[in-house]
Amino acid sequence: MRLLLKGGRVIDPSQNIDTVTDILIEDGKISRIEKGISLPEADSGGDLKIFDLKDKIVTPGLIDMHTHLREPGFEYKETVRTGSEAAVAGGFTSIACMANTDPVNDNRSVTEFIHKQARLAAMANVYPIAAISKGQDGKVLTEFGDLKNAGAVAFSDDGNPVTDSGLMRHALEYAYSFNMPVISHCEDTGLSSGGLMHEGFVSTQLGLPGIPGISEDIMVIRDIRLAGFTKTRVHIAHVSTAGSVQAVREAKSAGINVTAETAPHYFTLTDEALRGFSTNFKMYPPLRGADDVEAIKEGLRDGTIDAIASDHAPHSSVEKDVEFEYAANGITGLETSLPLCLKLVDDGILTINQLVEKMSVNPADILKIPKGSLKTGSDADITVVDMNKIWTVDTDTFRSKGRNCPFNGWKLKGKAVMTIVGGDVKYADSGFQI
């Protein structure tokens, strides 16, 4: 099977390409990128599909480096299959999934199981992230080497912070020797425990216990110091505060090897959204204040924040249709992430090229996976984006099992209209004949 993508605006920051051109895909790989590719009739045979991508953006497949696929253990919330179906529908060709499953992904068999489920689903590439500590309980390191060999790409206790600084130090050091990133969920639980939303005027009005911004800042600063001291590297997950952005910015200029991601909701929503007590706005870290949102945008603009990840965290009505206090943290994000990010381009905060870096090139680089590029010979993972398509979010149409999306009913601009993984079209808008 061969695919010829004609006339799209191809943006590949990894090769400094931004031009209207054609792409030919053969045997699952990118075989040619040049203007005006035309194949002789005889050569075209029956196995060539040609797509006219005029006025569309063609980018290296987008990578969501922070998702929760819930399998094994919570298959009623999401499975590797439904999660990766949601991924391709949202324009993601690769996703990395966190270890807080049941059992926790803290050993080879769980990592291999996730890989197997992903192969069976055959939608997006799925990269398991293994736990830092056994059972994610912050006490004993997992077998990093064995997990790497089983196919894990990073280590994280996401969902829980590593409160023991000594353990975190060893995790950074040990992961570094395998050239693997440690992804840190930064939370000082002494400050945050019992909290239900960002601590500020809105929490004061609503009478909900607060999670102060500094509970994140303090741990970000600790992890940066640890990475600097041990001369290793650390990746900060879901940055939500102005203080974290500032800490990462200073660390980078001091030459410390730190990278950071944020999620679309942290630059789209503020804690004001909590006023109706809707549990679809409950997540960790919580939606922050307007100042934080501005700082996140600035961090994206000036390069302090390297990546945008959805922190896709599907839950069922069992966890969400309850009192705010009892509701689980997290929102479904895979199918709304890209358009929310495209608004940054519309608003002039990022160029489309910078956005592609943060959603494809940089995540690949942080995770050290051979993705994020349209170089000839690389896997044909490609996302086609219609920047102008206006559509309304309807959670009932989600591929994900999660309906816990705060953007339900929102009118968004821009959408992935075709997602190609390994040369196969895994998702296409109704406008295309496949």
Q: Where are the beta strands (DSSP E) in 179-299?
A: 183-184, 197-198, 210-211, 233-236, 257-262
To the nearest whole angstrom, how small is the minimum distance from the Cβ of residue 405 to another protein? 18
How many Å apart are CA 211 and CA 230, to the nearest integer?
30
| Segment 196 to 235, residues that bind another protein, using CB under 8 A | 199-201, 203-210, 212
The verdict on whether 311 is a catalytic residue reads yes
To the nearest whole angstrom, how small is the minimum distance from the Cβ of residue 159 to another protein? 20
> Who contacts 104 (Cβ-Cβ below 8 Å, separation ≥6)?
110, 131, 134, 135, 136
To the nearest whole angstrom, how small is the minimum distance from the Cβ of residue 131 to another protein? 27
| Segment 78 to 137, residues that bind another protein, using CB under 8 A | none
To the nearest whole angstrom, how small is the minimum distance from the Cβ of residue 270 to another protein? 14
Q: For residue 286, is the peptide bond before it cis, meaning its omega torsion is within 30 degrees of 0? A: no
> If you search the block for the tokens 């001369």, which residue do you land on?
231
Greatest C-alpha distance within the chain:
73
Contact with another protein (CB under 8 A) among 189, 326, 368, 388: 326
Residue 291 interacting with another protein (CB under 8 A): no
To the nearest whole angstrom, how small is the minimum distance from the Cβ of residue 390 to another protein? 28
Quick one: tokens of 107?
A: 């050993």
Contact with another protein (CB under 8 A) among 34, 325, 346, 347: 325
Nearer to another protein, 353 or 395 (CB): 395
2-12/57-60 β-pairing: parallel
Phi first, then psi, for residue 308 (nearest 5°) are -120, 125
**What does the per-residue mask of binding to another protein show for 143-182, with x meaning CB under 8 A?**
----------------------------------------
**Of 188, 306, 311, 381, catalytic:** 311
> If you search the block for the tokens 């959408």, which residue do you land on?
415
Phi first, then psi, for residue 114 (nearest 5°) are -65, -40
Contact with another protein (CB under 8 A) among 323, 396, 433, 434: 323
The region of 265-273, 318-326, 335-343, 401-409 touching another protein under the rule CB under 8 A is 318-326
How many Å apart are CA 13 and CA 28, to the nearest integer?
21
366 membership: H or E segment, kind and range: helix 362-367
Contact with another protein (CB under 8 A) among 143, 246, 250, 324: 324
Contact with another protein (CB under 8 A) among 39, 322, 346, 390: 322
Nearer to another protein, 232 or 280 (CB): 280
Instruction: Count Cβ atoms within 10 A of the Cβ of residue 2 and give its class: 0-12 exposed, 13-18 middle, 19 or more buried.
Output: middle
Nearer to another protein, 25 or 202 (CB): 202
How many Å apart are CA 263 and CA 236, to the nearest integer?
12
Number of residues in contact with another protein under rule CB under 8 A: 20
Nearer to another protein, 317 or 388 (CB): 317
To the nearest whole angstrom, how small is the minimum distance from the Cβ of residue 243 to another protein? 15
To the nearest whole angstrom, how small is the minimum distance from the Cβ of residue 434 to another protein? 42
Nearer to another protein, 120 or 322 (CB): 322
Q: For residue 22, give the nearest of 4, 40, 39 by alpha carbon.
A: 4
**What are the helix (H) ranges across 159-257?**
165-177, 189-192, 201-206, 214-230, 242-253
Q: Which residues are catalytic?
A: 311
Residues at the interface with another protein (CB under 8 A): 199-201, 203-210, 212, 276-277, 321-326
